[in-house]
Amino acid sequence: MSFPAADFATNLEKWFATSQRDLPWREIANARDGYRVLVSEVMLQQTTVAAVIPFYHRFLARFPDARTLARAEIDEVLPLWAGLGYYSRARNLHAAAKAVMEKHGGIFPQNFEEVLALPGVGRYTAGAVCSIAFGQKVPIVDANVARVLARVLCLKGDVKSPKVQAQLWQSASELVNASTQPSNFNPAMMELGALVCVPKTPRCEACPVSDFCGAFKTNRQSEFPQFAAKKAHQQMHDVCVLFADASGVLLRQRSTENTARNWWKGMWELPRTTVLEGESTPAALGRLLAELNIQAEIGGCIKTLRHGVTTHAITLDCYEISDAKFENSAAQIFEWDETRKLAIPSTMRQLLDWYYSHRVVNEQLALL
């Protein structure tokens, strides 16, 4: 890259010193602790900064270091993650804490390859931990960094393609190597992408690296980054059954197997299944009840929720059931208060909250 990398890095770092957001994981005690950087980076994957902040505080209050997290059961960890989604992240973080205890004697590793070998840690996360916590000159490329670099360097081709990814990592590596503050350089690149070089209308007039930006100089900001045509979301139709009254609700725990689409491994939910291709909704409901050994009258659909997981667009219909018998079933009744302590996926939690506030509370009021 024939590019004034050192000047670029200096301008960016100066801007970051005065313009960065005040975020909890940037407090020095958190930013120089490998475990805490790992927690924040894992939480921030696929999740917005605003959504992560309360989870980050709660998680570190309960698990301030790898030792406390490693000692906990996964059932204690998942409830603190419920609502953040992508629960495999919590499982991997738990496994990473165990690996820190078992393979590194409780001392968080500083070697890049050793960090990379922790469960759930990829090149980006290992780079973030090693550069932010330990000041190493290792690159990171996330969506924000990719957008900035694609514009600065006018990179042509699908930004997610192996070819452009290789160019991005190579350029990020050269830039961080030219930096004098590697702990700040990578967060500064991400911050620039989040605050200034934003996807739709970049604020080039406020950009500290506009002098180095090819897209800005040629007025082609909207041409970069480039993306391949998007694949359509796969539609799914799920059904669940609800058996509840003022005292409690029937829930079952999902398996922990790594099967396709088992996105909520080991979490609790209203009994739920996907309507198979060519299967009718009543048949799917009947199959669900038979699989769980529940005998019940199936009533009407009381609520429909739509949500997305990875590339799937899911329509979830909730059917009320009555006269349920489930003595030999894996499903069991939980009191409403108890459900607060369970790891329940956010869409399911939304459904339970809706039912409780609309039905249960109204029934209780009617008795007064």
HSE at residue 248, side-chain half, CA atoms within 13 A, is: 9
Give the shortest CB-52-to-ligand SF4 separation in angstroms.
24
Q: Based on CB atoms, which residue is closest to ligand SF4, 209 or 240? A: 209
Give the shortest CB-203-to-ligand SF4 separation in angstroms.
6
Q: Which of residues 180-199 bind ligand SF4 (CB under 6 A)?
A: 196-197
Q: Based on CB atoms, which residue is closest to ligand SF4, 71 or 203? A: 203
**Residue from 30, 44, 7 nearest 191 by CA:** 44
Binding mask 32-71 for ligand SF4 (x = CB under 6 A): ----------------------------------------
Contact between 316 and ligand SF4 (CB under 6 A)?
A: no
Query: What count of residues does the chain have?
Result: 368
Binding span for ligand SF4 by CB under 6 A among 66-74, 203-211, 232-240, 269-277: 203-211
Per rule CB under 6 A, count of chain residues that contact ligand SF4: 15
Q: Based on CB atoms, which residue is closest to ligand SF4, 202 or 345? A: 202
Give the shortest CB-175-to-ligand SF4 separation in angstroms.
12
Judge contact between 334 and 365, C-beta under 8 A: no
CA dist., res. 63 & res. 183, Å (int): 24
Q: Based on CB atoms, which residue is closest to ligand SF4, 18 or 362? A: 18
Give whole-number Cα distances, 317 to 184, 281, 290, in Å.
47, 10, 18
From 13, 41, 191, 269, active-site residue: 41
Contact between 168 and ligand SF4 (CB under 6 A)?
A: no
Q: Which of 145, 146, 209, 289 binds ligand SF4 (CB under 6 A)?
A: 209
Q: Based on CB atoms, which residue is closest to ligand SF4, 140 or 209? A: 209
Binding mask 212-231 for ligand SF4 (x = CB under 6 A): -x-xx----x----------
Distance from the Cα of residue 152 to its chain's centroid: 28
Q: Which of residues 92-151 bind ligand SF4 (CB under 6 A)?
A: 148, 151
Contact between 152 and ligand SF4 (CB under 6 A)?
A: yes
Which pairing describes strands 272-274 and 234-242: parallel, antiparallel, or unpaired?
antiparallel
Give the shortest CB-198-to-ligand SF4 separation in angstroms.
8
Judge contact between 313 and 235, C-beta under 8 A: yes
Q: Based on CB atoms, which residue is closest to ligand SF4, 218 or 256? A: 218
Q: Which of 40, 92, 183, 210 binds ligand SF4 (CB under 6 A)?
A: 210
Give the shortest CB-155-to-ligand SF4 separation in angstroms.
12
Give the shortest CB-89-to-ligand SF4 separation in angstroms.
29
Q: Based on CB atoms, which residue is closest to ligand SF4, 156 or 287? A: 156
Give the shortest CB-147-to-ligand SF4 separation in angstroms.
8
Residues whose CB is less than 8 angstroms from the CB of residue 308 and which lie 6 or more positions away in sequence, other chains included:
233, 314
Is 41 among the residues known to form the active site?
yes
CA dist., res. 153 & res. 224, Å (int): 9
Catalytic site residues? 41
| Contact residues for ligand SF4, defined by CB under 6 A | 148, 151-152, 196-197, 202-204, 207, 209-210, 213, 215-216, 221
